[in-house]
Structure 1
Amino acid sequence: MEATTFIRNFIKYPDMIGAVWPSSKFLAKKMITDVNFENAKCIVEYGPGTGIFTNELIKNKKENTILLVLELNKELYNTLEEKYSNIKNVHIINDTAENVGMYVNQYGFECADYIISGLPFTAFPEELSKSILTNTLEILNKEGKFITFQYTLLKKNFMKKFFPSININFEMINIPPAFVFSCSKEK
């Protein structure tokens, strides 16, 4: 069911959905490796799709940690809302990642500790990518991390304009294989 929803939305919105198949559980586990769940108070997820990363975040976060999940696609948002709306401190939001600061503040925080992203930056216009990353940088805690994945290294130099420290890992067991960028504000 989730794969069908994902594929249908890729066909309808190829510029919003950057892959033809949902991310693997292996990629999801790699995406959360650098998250310190013991200390995280506010975690944000951009572009969760059908919720592969969301599942891992919920399984590992502390009960009192707030998880804000931003999904712009209405159909995917509805699927996520159905799955997660009854979980304490998990908030599904139908909006763009550009508005992240508003939601972090609305839920009582000045900054997010971690931002996990499934957004396809290589498919986005440069201005949209700049806007999202600028807002991410502004709302991310000084010691926080922005963790995203991409299918190529094409956006590495672009991301370095925002994050001076980027650690890259590779996950082979995914369709297609993916690079995980763990980005920090400080070197």
Structure 2
Amino acid sequence: MTQPFHDLRVFLGAVRRQPAAVGAIAPSGPALAGLLATVVPSTGAPTVVELGPGTGSATKAVQRRIPAGGRHLAVELDGTLVEHLRSTYPRLDVVHGDASELGKLLADRGVEQVDAVISGLPWALFPEDLQRAILRQVGAVLTPAGAFTTFAYVHALGMKQARRFRALLDRSFDEVIVSRVVWANVPPAISYVCRRPTMGDDAG
């Protein structure tokens, strides 16, 4: 079985086990994954964290970009996906845990700050207090020059949950850049690149 078909089978298994925790109909395509990975510094020894990496679509793109001296961690809640990632990406430090406890999970591994956070989490399925908690954790661990990126499906942008999350990003970061539409993804998507966490009351 080829790797893409194996990844898809693992992904569909995760959807069956926890449909509310996956929130996608297919893994992110290479074009979207590559776009998300552009926040990864390509020089030096950066530390990069993925939240909800799933089967590793963005993982592959990050590992193509991150320098040899960099550190790449991933926080995944689904145990089967954790094992899949560990067997598929031996260079990846996979953390079995909840993104809302990001600071503690990283501290347990001796990491205080990171240069980039890439999220594949299904934000629209989370209650607002959980969204705020995760974004607060992200803001607390980012370096001053660091970036947080995530994505949203184009067809859902007008929905209440998506509008609410975008407003929360605007309150949580000083800068939120919206990408072009990645039409090659299924379904088409955009990315948000967020910098300089404000860490104000609205973010927490």
Normalising by the residue count of structure 2, what TM-score does the alignment of the two structures yield? 0.84
Please tell me whether residue 31 in structure 1 is matched to residue 36 in structure 2.
yes
**Residue in structure 2 matched with residue 134 of structure 1 by the alignment:** 136
- Determine the C-alpha separation between the residues in 2 that align with 1:40 and 1:182: 21
- Determine the C-alpha separation between the residues in 2 that align with 1:39 and 1:45: 19
Pick one of 160, 164, 181 that aligns with 2:174: 164
Paired letter, 1:37: S
Q: Does the aligned pair in 2 maintain the 1:40–1:114 contact within 8 Å?
A: no
Paired letter, 1:185: R
Report the Cα offset of residue 8 of structure 1: 2.2
Please tell me whether residue 6 in structure 1 is matched to residue 11 in structure 2.
yes
| Pairwise CA RMSD | 1.6
Q: Does the aligned pair in 2 maintain the 1:84–1:92 contact within 8 Å?
A: no
Normalising by the residue count of structure 1, what TM-score does the alignment of the two structures yield? 0.92
Mean Cα displacement is larger for which, 147-156 or 32-41?
Answer: 32-41
Q: Give CA deviations for 1:113-155 in whole Å, capped at 9, x if unaligned.
A: 1000000100112121111111111111111100101114322
What does residue range 1-187 of structure 1 map to in structure 2 within 5 Å? Answer: 1-39=6-44, 41-85=46-90, 87=91, 90-151=92-153, 152-153=156-157, 154=162, 155-169=165-179, 170-185=181-196
Aligned-residue sequence identity (percent) comes to 29
Q: Does the aligned pair in 2 maintain the 1:104–1:112 contact within 8 Å?
A: no
What secondary structure, in the 3-state scheme, does the structure 2 residue paired with 1:63 have? Answer: coil
- Determine the C-alpha separation between the residues in 2 that align with 1:160 and 1:39: 30
What secondary structure, in the 3-state scheme, does the structure 1 residue paired with 2:116 have? Answer: strand
Paired letter, 1:137: G
Q: Give CA deviations for 1:74-128 in whole Å, capped at 9, x if unaligned.
A: 111110011123x2xx311111112221233333332111000000100112121
- Determine the C-alpha separation between the residues in 2 that align with 1:114 and 1:40: 12
The change in CA–CA distance for 1:175 and 1:181 in structure 2 (over 3 A counts) is: same
- Determine the C-alpha separation between the residues in 2 that align with 1:31 and 1:128: 22
- Determine the C-alpha separation between the residues in 2 that align with 1:40 and 1:144: 13
Q: Does the aligned pair in 2 maintain the 1:49–1:76 contact within 8 Å?
A: yes
- Determine the C-alpha separation between the residues in 2 that align with 1:150 and 1:24: 13
Report the Cα offset of residue 186 of structure 1: 6.1
